[in-house]
Amino acid sequence: MRFLGLILLVLAGAASGLALPPVGAWWVLGLSFPVLLWWCEKARNWRSGFAGGLLFGLGYFCVAFHWIGFAFLVDADAYLWMMPFAVGGLALMMASYWGIAVALAVRLPLAFVPRFISIPVFLSGAEWLRGHLFTGFPWAAPGLVAEGMGAVLQAASLIGMTGLTLMVLLWASLPFALWRSRHQGFAIKLLLAVLAALLPVAQFWGVARLESHAVAFKPDITLRLVQPNVSQSDKWRSENAVVMLDDLVALSSSPVATPQLIVWPEASVPFLLDEEPEALRRIGEALVPGQSLLAGSIRRGADAGEATPYYTSIIGIDDEGRVTGRYDKWRLVPGGEFLPLEWLLAPLGFRKVVDLPESLSPGPGPQNLLVPRVGLAGALICYEAIFPHRLLADERPDFLVNVTNDGWFGQSVGPYQHLAQVRLRAIEQGLPVVRAANTGISAVFDSLGRSVIRTELGVRTAVDSPLPMSIAATAYAKWGDWSLLFIALLVIFLGAAAQRSHHAAARP
C-alpha cells in the first residue's frame, strides 16, 4: 500500500505539470495537490514528509523540464547520452527543495497550524530559495500557473511570481481542506471561506485593473522584431555567416515602414559582430538615418591574463555602423553557457551545450542601453527573463528588451513557458517588453502584459509594432519579495489562530 502511495505521488506531481503553460489546465492542481496533503496527513515523521515532497516534486519537474531534452537532440551523437543526467538530475535537484520544505512542514506540530497552510507556505519559501541559491533556477514556479487563470495574473503587480506561488498553492489546497473541514470548527471554515473568496476577488480586481489602463503607445515610435528562424544545427556554422547576415539585413529592410528601432535575436550571427568592420558597414548602409539596431551577439572582451573572456551580449549599432553600446549577459545558463564543477565533470565527458571553446563569462550586472529617439532599454538576454529579482539597473528604463534563442528547444513547450515568464516580468514591473527570438516566439507586451503583437513559433518573419508606454512602478517593483514574507506570516497567523479556536471549542 505504501509503495502504491509513492507511485501516486509521482503521478500526481506529473499531472500538476499540466497546469503550466501552454496547457494551462490550472484546475488540475485542485485534484493533484491534495494527494500530497493526504500523504502528509498520514506521515509519521519528517522522513515520510521528505519522501512525499521529493517524489511529488520529481513528477512535477520532470514534466515541467522535459523540453530541456530537445537541446541534446541538436547534436545527438555528442550530447544524447547526457540527456537523462541533465533532465532527470535537474528535476531531482529541484525536487529536493520541495522534499526539504514538506519535511519541515510535517515536523511543525499539526496542533499549531493546519497542513493546508504550512505546506504551501514552506513550499513557497522553497521556491524563493530555488530562485536564489547556486545562481538560482526559478523556471516552472507554481506561480506561473496563474498564466492560465485570466485576470488573476494581474496580482503579479502586487505580489510578483513568488507571491502568486503561495496563493496558487493555497487555492490548490482548498478541495482537500474543505473535505477535512467537515470535522473542524467555525474558525477553520471561516478561514477557508476567506481563502476561497480571494480567487474571485483577484479575478475581478484584475479585470478592473485592465479596464482602467487603456493600451497606450509612445507617439511616432515603431519597432521591428526580426525572427530569422535559423535551425540550431545551422546556427554556429561559420560557412553560413554571410547567408545569415544577408537574411537578417533583408528582414530588417522594408520600403513600407521606417521603424526607429530594429531588434535582432540572441547570438544572431555566428561571428563576433563588433569585430567585423565589413558587417558593421553593411548594417550601417541598411539602416536609414535615425534608425538604431540592437543585435544579440557573442563578443570578446579584453585579455584578462589567464584567458580571454567571451560574453553573450546585446550590441547597439547606429546608422553609420558604429557600436553605440554593449550589454553583457550576467546570468548564465548552467550546463549551457558554462559547466558547473567543470574540474569534476569535464574529465567524465560532460560538456556545455553552447559550442564555444571556452565557457562564457558573466557581465557586471543589470544595465540599460540608450536608444536614440526611442528611450532607455533595460536589457535581458534569454535566461535572464525568468528571474523576477535584480531585473533592473538603478535608473528605471522606459521598456525592457529581451533577445533570445529558443531554437534549442524545437517545437516543445519550452518556448511557450519562456514567453509566459517574459509576460510576467512586464506585469510585475509595469514596463513594456520587446522580445526578439531566433525561431520564435517574438512578441511585444504592454505594461500590463497584454499582447500587442506576437509571432508564431518556427516561422521566418519580421514584424512591426508601436512601443507601449510604461506606467508607474508597481507595488512589486517597489517592494519585491517582501510581499511573500508578509502574506506567509499573515496566513500562518490566521491558520494558527483558527487552529487554536478549533481546539479550544473541542475541549469539554
CA 200 to chain centre: 25
In three-state form (DSSP H/G/I as H, E/B as E, the rest C), the secondary structure along 206-266 is HHHHHHHCCCCEEEEEEEEEEECCCCHHHHCCHHHHHHHHHHHHHHHCCCCCCCCEEECCC
Separation in Å, CA 108 to CA 121, 276, 492, 496, 503? 12, 62, 12, 12, 17
| CA gap 353, 77 in Å, rounded | 13
Give me the residues paired with residue 224 across strands.
262, 464
Which residues have C-beta within 8 Å of that of residue 445, sequence separation ≥ 6? 422, 423, 426, 432, 433, 435, 451, 452, 468
Which residues have C-beta within 8 Å of that of residue 79, sequence separation ≥ 6? 71, 72, 73, 351, 353
Which residues have C-beta within 8 Å of that of residue 197, sequence separation ≥ 6? none
Which residues have C-beta within 8 Å of that of residue 258, sequence separation ≥ 6? 222, 288, 291
Is residue 291 a contact partner of residue 259, using CB atoms and an 8 Å limit? yes
- What is the phi/psi pair of residue 338, to 5°? -150, 155
Question: Residues 266, 337, 384, 428: which is the catalytic one?
Answer: 266
Separation in Å, CA 245 to CA 276, 286, 371, 447? 12, 11, 22, 32
Question: Residues 40, 62, 147, 329: which is the catalytic one?
Answer: 329
In the residue annotation, 266 being an active-site residue is answered as yes
Q: How many C-beta neighbours within 10 Å does residue 247 have?
A: 16
Least Cα distance to 207 among 170, 163, 153 occurs for 153
3-state helix, strand, coil in the chain (%, to 5): 55, 15, 30
C-alpha cell at 136: 538560482
Cis peptide before 314 (omega within 30 of 0): no
In the residue annotation, 352 being an active-site residue is answered as no
DSSP at 294: E
DSSP at 396: P
C-alpha cell at 147: 498564466
Radius of gyration of the chain (CA): 24
Separation in Å, CA 288 to CA 222, 238, 251, 319? 14, 28, 14, 6
Question: Residues 147, 235, 337, 382: which is the catalytic one?
Answer: 382
Could you give the dihedral angle defined by the CA atoms of residues 427, 431, 434 and 435, in that order, rounded to the nearest 10 degrees? Answer: -40
In the residue annotation, 478 being an active-site residue is answered as no
C-alpha cell at 65: 523540464
Catalytic site positions: 266, 329, 382
